[in-house]
Amino acid sequence: MNTAATSTAPAGYTLDQGYFARRTWLDWLFALVVAVGGLFALQRYGAHMDVYEKGILLASIPTAVWLGWFWRPLLWLMLAVAALSLSAIGLYQGDAGGDLARADTVFGLKYFLSSQSAILWMSMLFFMSTAFYWIGIFAGGERQTMMRIGSRVAWVAVGLALIGTMVRWYESYQIAPDIGHIPVSNLYEVFVMFCWMTALFYLYYEEQYGTRALGAFVMLVVSAAVGFLLWYTVVREAHEIQPLVPALKSWWMKLHVPANFIGYGTFALAAMVAFAYLIKQQAAETRWYKLAPLWLLGIVLCFEPLAFRQEVDGRSSYWMVYFGISALIVGGILFGRRRIAAQLPALEVLDDVMYKAIAVGFAFFTIATVLGALWAAEAWGGYWSWDPKETWALIVWLNYAAWLHMRLMKGLRGTMSAWWALGGLAITTFAFLGVNMFLSGLHSYGTL
């Protein structure tokens, strides 16, 4: 008998268990809940959907089940978001059905579950999460506790962002059936998506790599997005639900925009990991001109107050405060770079997270670009028109295609790889936001 080949698996477990055999009762119960919910939605609202929208709804059922099985925290997140979103819809029900005026009179809606309330809570909690992560970086014996709190708060913020999105979707249909749409149509709505999607991808990598220190860096870019979102809400009253322009009244939007923002979110995540890589690599450096990554971060953080310095009600105090906080963050990182570097994972881990984030983002950004071309053909009669948004999307795609090519074919690693990923954030930011600010074209739906 070949004892070397003898199985050492625990009793009741076989080495050749299949994928479905490994599912627990909770997995199957979750699958049943998702299937029942999806089929109920199809039965109730199918008359208002075209064949493509029905296909998207049906495809979302196995997708949601697979995501919940793939990563257990997502299962609990989806159940919590569904339960609280349905609770919010229930609170909107008055004597004559849905009544949006109840958002100002019902306690649960006014302070927690209306779309605007949930998104404001999301904003505050992302700021708090960022603060806890950074406190954890510099804390002593309570380091892990502070970072754990930062992670938990980030999870709650993601949940509230999703609840706000789902409830906003419902609210849009309560205004008027022809106004109702999935909330991914303007800058306000997609910034909410960017925030929760970037944070959720980070939380996945946090669990996979067993390190929370990167949260201090990744949550900086999420908090910067929240800062813009709050400004945009006040200046443009962007939280008000508006009718779709004719070109956006398409089922393509449900696919193209989320795929795009998986790309944007993971590219931003990779850039902040790249920044952490450079900080750790140059932590012992004392010559100021060798600390270029820190100055680069300062430029990026201070870009928003320079670009969006329009006054609000005759005052520009908001962006002055933002500028001051940005300067304090940059100064704090510069002063404490050695202590920060000591908390970061090994350079090899940072490099691997950077690569995996870019690989995922590139795959979805490619899908989004193809879907966008198909949508353009339907809406405007041509697959490609060299519109500024299309041109910059191609530049983003080429940038990361070249990065991946150099890594896979030429073994690109280390400092050059990190600088390239960090520089990609500037290109992606201009494609995401700068085109709307400085250029015009067929995609100018979220103007500033």
In a domain, 30, yes or no: yes
In a domain, 36, yes or no: yes
In a domain, 280, yes or no: no
Give tens-digit pLDDT for 312-328.
444 456 667 777 777 77
- Region 395-415: mean pLDDT is 94
Number of domains in the chain: 1
Give tens-digit pLDDT for 80-93.
999 999 999 999 99
Give tens-digit pLDDT for 55-113.
999 999 999 999 999 999 999 999 999 999 999 999 999 766 678 889 999 999 999 99
Comparing 241 with 238, the larger pLDDT belongs to: 241
| Cα Dmax for the chain | 87
pLDDT of amino acid 446: 53
Give tens-digit pLDDT for 274-290.
989 988 887 766 666 66
pLDDT at 291 over 70: no
What percentage of residues in the chain have a pLDDT greater than 90? 55
Q: What is the pTM of this model?
A: 0.90
Residue 58: give the domain boundaries: 22-70
- Range in 21-30, 47-56, 331-340 the model is least confident about: 331-340
In a domain, 192, yes or no: no
Rounded to 10°, the helix 72-92/143-175 angle is 40
In a domain, 88, yes or no: no
In a domain, 334, yes or no: no
